[in-house]
Structure 1
Amino acid sequence: MTSQDFANGSDLLSPSVLQNRNYRHFLISRTCSSLAFQSLTVAMGWMIYEITGSAWMLGWVGFFQFLPMLILTFVVGAMADRYDRRRIGLICQWVEALTVLVLGVLVWKQSLTPQGILVAVTILGAAQAFERPTMASLLPGIVGPAMLQRAIATSTSFMQTALIVGPALGGVLYGFGHIVPFFVSGLLFLAAGYSVGTIRILSAAPTARTPVTFETIFAGVAFIRRTPAVLGMISLDLFAVLLGGATALLPIYASDILEAGPFGLGLLRSAPAIGALAMSIYLGRYPVVAGAGRKMFAAVAVFGLATIVFALSTQVWLSILALLVVGASDNISVVVRSSLVQLMTPDEMRGRVNAVNSLFIGTSNQLGEFESGMMAGFLGPVTACVIGGVGTLAVVAIWMSAFPVLRRIERLDGK
């Protein structure tokens, strides 16, 4: 399935994709897990800032969420290519459910400390390190190559919807009581695990049981290194979001700068996902057929500019508008990168390649939150965000020169 197939009239939410029972269960699992995680992130971020009043602690939350991914990436990829991916996803989601329910009990007993939150974040980060690349690798075995790109677009729209609803849900539930978002998230993780356990894939992949060696473990890295388009694309996303991401600072903006409260924090967290969902729907009907690489660079530049606008804003409506643009521009990179990684990677290597891709994403998101929190602690949140946006614009200029192959990409299948 290529970009031209979309241009010939395919809708984003294609009935032929959604009629696939296994794909529906896949969507339910990913959506419930994302809803739970996003809701939980808002609740924990607000709670730890309420307890400590420290931008540093918000940065450490991102760091401890990222650390397990950094340590486990290559173990995750090897396991996803050797064992049943459905079972790995189910175990991860049930571990997440148990962790969140324990957090809820501690909140109920009023004994949850900032250190306890960091421990929980580390466990959740480890589970996410396994879940995300494993579930991404599972998708081609559910729908087959002919429907893969349409399935990716549909999955992206569902995930962005979860990213919209999840943060707002977390803010609303937190307003009803500190304990509520933890138990609701626990139930959503349980539902996600049940759904992935009912999936039946087209083949028994992965079936390969090659000996575990240094070479096989790092085969995903080798594949990315010898594929300049993939290397340039995921590294562009890595550094752009690492520098330009302001997610970790949203509790400070909502509390101290915009004075919007926890519900306002939920709206701010949802705004990028709303923009991304709108863009995914647009790209489903009007795909990037020509000049995909050049348009991707332009989108990342817009991402940096919108970050600067958000950093300087003191009005809630302008901040939300800037974050909408941030999400819409970022989604272009997500669609291009996801399509290329899945379609260009052999099935027996998808676990390892997706693990490396997830490490890049985690670095840009979680380590980006750590970087933002640390910089805000030194320079203040506004200065930190402005520097991040300017840094993103610099990355675009450098990558256009260092990876000319990206400028020549015309289609979403990398041809």
Structure 2
Amino acid sequence: MSRTRLHDPYAVLRIPDFRLYVVARLCITLAMQIQAVIVGWQIYEMTQNPLSLGLIGLAEAIPSIVVSLYAGYIADVVERKKIILVVITLLAFCSGALLFFTLDTNQVLATYGALPIYGVIFVSGIARGFMGPAVFSFMPQLVPGKQLYANAITWSTTTWQAASVAGPAIGGLLYGFYGIKASYSADAILVLLALVSFSMISGKPLPENANPQNLKESLQSGIRFVFGNQVILSAISLDLFAVLFGGAVALLPIFASDILLIGPQGLGMLRAAPAIGSVLMAILMAYNPITVEAGRKMLWCVAGFGVCIVLFGLSRSFWFSLGLLALSGAFDSISMIIRSTLIHTLTPEYMKGRVSSVNNIFVGSSNEIGAFESGFTARLMGTVPAVVFGGIMTLVVVGVTALKADKLRVLDLSPKDAV
């Protein structure tokens, strides 16, 4: 009977609190994706500078990284639901501010340019720095045991990716057909819906910690745990450098505007394509989870991601580019699910906030830092060479990791018992 539950693809969706979590995650991700599309397009229209797109990512990544370790400590000593509610309230304020700037364009943005938008993104970076560890460590508290972790992670990832499919498309369509005010209004409404959904989840007490520590000792123990575990360290390092060099998302407004000539509606489709591939792969993995030779398959998938990025940079066909981005999302989904599963499985409950914060510094902020890297290299060598260079560097990172991280290379996630 327990084996049947283990392979039941819908097991966690029968848990009421987890269903609320899924709804909340759907709403907040939709909001953030819509916001990312609109902010990127708005700033590029204002500046016509690829570096300005990279600065969006940097404005979010710097505060997120700075607060991340402390945020992980807070997630291990303060009830996680309370942290999430405070953080989403702050994100609602940020969404409202972006809408206000748009309503007041002639006074604020006309006077200060894009600076107020960067300021809001900076504040949202602080909020996301605290939200990451809290949400990461709160999610496993909603399921009854470790045997459901992989199933919960798969559906959580599927929800996030589904919202990442719909969000950019909705953002591009709203902006293209109804204007910027409607787009930012949708963003603000979705954040409020996420706040309501999270508030309806029952509170969960903090896991017991037999060895309570002060702030300094607690942070040090979390860092030592990650750097002392080759499997976790190599997995998050692989994702860090792959996304850092291989992320072309920040430059998509340039591809949409100047290379593929498809406008904001096409930009929404390009932004959604990786998530479409990821969602399809995540659903497939809910029915057929990867366990045997998981580490080796993870390495091959990250390599496939790099190849897709190289070909995308060289492509001049909209539909071919769309397919490559979708395939890159499918490869990335496998890596993400394997990495999240092994971190949740190998990390003690009372330490998950701190370990998540280290993971957030490595992986969570790599998208934003990668956005800056993409914008900077595009300014130096041009958009297409920058994307191709990033994809090639991703392949180099995979090769080095495969040679050095022998434990990841032989990682197997098969159940150790036959219950």
TM-score for the superposition, normalised by structure 1: 0.95
Structure-1 residue corresponding to 2:407: 405
Question: Is the partner of 2:206 in helix, strand or coil?
Answer: coil
Q: Deviations over 1:188-243 (max 9, x none)?
A: 11111121112125x51145593424221232211111111000000000001101
Q: Deviations over 1:153-212 (max 9, x none)?
A: 1111111100100111111111211111212111111111121112125x5114559342
Answer whether contact 2:73 2:215 (CA < 8 A) is retained. no
1:56 is displaced (CA, Å) by 0.7
User: What is the alpha-carbon distance in structure 2 between the residues aligned to residue 96 and residue 206 of structure 1?
Assistant: 27
Structure-1 residue corresponding to 2:380: 378
User: What is the alpha-carbon distance in structure 1 between the residues aligned to residue 313 and residue 414 of structure 2?
Assistant: 32
Question: Is the partner of 1:265 in helix, strand or coil?
Answer: helix
Answer whether contact 1:28 1:195 (CA < 8 A) is retained. yes
User: What is the alpha-carbon distance in structure 2 between the residues aligned to residue 231 and residue 346 of structure 1?
Assistant: 16
Partner letter of residue 77 of structure 2? R
Structure-1 residue corresponding to 2:79: 84
Answer whether contact 2:305 2:327 (CA < 8 A) is retained. yes
Q: Output aligned runs, 1:235-254, within 5 Å.
A: 235-254=237-256
> Which has the larger displacement, 112-121 or 34-43?
112-121
1:133 is displaced (CA, Å) by 1.8
Q: Output aligned runs, 1:87-98, within 5 Å.
A: 87-98=82-93
Answer whether contact 2:97 2:120 (CA < 8 A) is retained. no
Structure-2 residue corresponding to 1:124: 124
1:22 to 2:20 alignment = no
Answer whether contact 1:274 1:327 (CA < 8 A) is retained. yes
User: What is the alpha-carbon distance in structure 1 between the residues aligned to residue 405 and residue 213 of structure 2?
Assistant: 35
Q: Output aligned runs, 1:259-298, within 5 Å.
A: 259-298=261-300
Structure-2 residue corresponding to 1:50: 45
Distance 1:373 1:5, change over 3 A: farther
Structure-2 residue corresponding to 1:257: 259
1:360 is displaced (CA, Å) by 1.3
> Which has the larger displacement, 292-301 or 148-157?
148-157
Residue 10 of structure 1, aligned match among 2, 8, 11: 8
Q: Output aligned runs, 1:180-191, within 5 Å.
A: 180-191=182-193
1:363 is displaced (CA, Å) by 3.2
Answer whether contact 1:339 1:412 (CA < 8 A) is retained. no
User: What is the alpha-carbon distance in structure 2 between the residues aligned to residue 392 and residue 117 of structure 1?
Assistant: 31
1:108 is displaced (CA, Å) by 1.1
Unaligned runs of 5+ in 2: none
Answer whether contact 1:73 1:359 (CA < 8 A) is retained. yes
Question: Is the partner of 1:139 in helix, strand or coil?
Answer: helix
Aligned length: 409
Partner letter of residue 161 of structure 1? A
Answer whether contact 2:237 2:362 (CA < 8 A) is retained. yes
User: What is the alpha-carbon distance in structure 2 between the residues aligned to residue 5 and residue 154 of structure 1?
Assistant: 18
Structure-2 residue corresponding to 1:99: 94
Q: Deviations over 1:111-146 (max 9, x none)?
A: 333111110110111111111221110011111223
User: What is the alpha-carbon distance in structure 2 between the residues aligned to residue 211 and residue 406 of structure 1?
Assistant: 31
Structure-1 residue corresponding to 2:140: 140
User: What is the alpha-carbon distance in structure 2 between the residues aligned to residue 59 and residue 227 of structure 1?
Assistant: 33
Q: Output aligned runs, 1:155-166, within 5 Å.
A: 155-166=156-167
Q: Deviations over 1:364-395 (max 9, x none)?
A: 20000000000001111100000001000100
Q: Deviations over 1:272-321 (max 9, x none)?
A: 00000111111122222311111111101100000001000111001101
Partner letter of residue 385 of structure 1? V
TM-score for the superposition, normalised by structure 2: 0.94
Distance 1:408 1:270, change over 3 A: same
Question: Is the partner of 2:376 in helix, strand or coil?
Answer: helix
> Which has the larger displacement, 86-95 or 41-50?
86-95
User: What is the alpha-carbon distance in structure 2 between the residues aligned to residue 297 and residue 96 of structure 1?
Assistant: 35
1:413 is displaced (CA, Å) by 7.0
1:26 is displaced (CA, Å) by 0.9
Distance 1:104 1:412, change over 3 A: farther
Distance 1:395 1:21, change over 3 A: same
1:147 is displaced (CA, Å) by 2.1
1:94 is displaced (CA, Å) by 1.1
Answer whether contact 1:340 1:413 (CA < 8 A) is retained. no
Residue 360 of structure 1, aligned match among 359, 362, 365: 362
User: What is the alpha-carbon distance in structure 1 between the residues aligned to residue 357 and residue 371 of structure 2?
Assistant: 20
Distance 1:5 1:338, change over 3 A: farther
User: What is the alpha-carbon distance in structure 1 between the residues aligned to residue 345 and residue 144 of structure 2?
Assistant: 11
User: What is the alpha-carbon distance in structure 2 between the residues aligned to residue 265 and residue 316 of structure 1?
Assistant: 10
Structure-2 residue corresponding to 1:388: 390
Partner letter of residue 313 of structure 2? A
Answer whether contact 1:74 1:218 (CA < 8 A) is retained. no
User: What is the alpha-carbon distance in structure 2 between the residues aligned to residue 212 and residue 57 of structure 1?
Assistant: 41
User: What is the alpha-carbon distance in structure 1 between the residues aligned to residue 297 and residue 139 of structure 2?
Assistant: 27
1:412 is displaced (CA, Å) by 6.2
User: What is the alpha-carbon distance in structure 2 between the residues aligned to residue 215 and residue 17 of structure 1?
Assistant: 35
User: What is the alpha-carbon distance in structure 2 between the residues aligned to residue 414 and residue 132 of structure 1?
Assistant: 30
Answer whether contact 1:82 1:207 (CA < 8 A) is retained. no
Q: CA RMSD in A?
A: 1.9
Identity %: 37
Question: Is the partner of 2:77 in helix, strand or coil?
Answer: coil
> Which has the larger displacement, 251-260 or 96-105?
96-105
Answer whether contact 1:90 1:196 (CA < 8 A) is retained. yes
Structure-1 residue corresponding to 2:316: 314
User: What is the alpha-carbon distance in structure 2 between the residues aligned to residue 142 and residue 198 of structure 1?
Assistant: 13
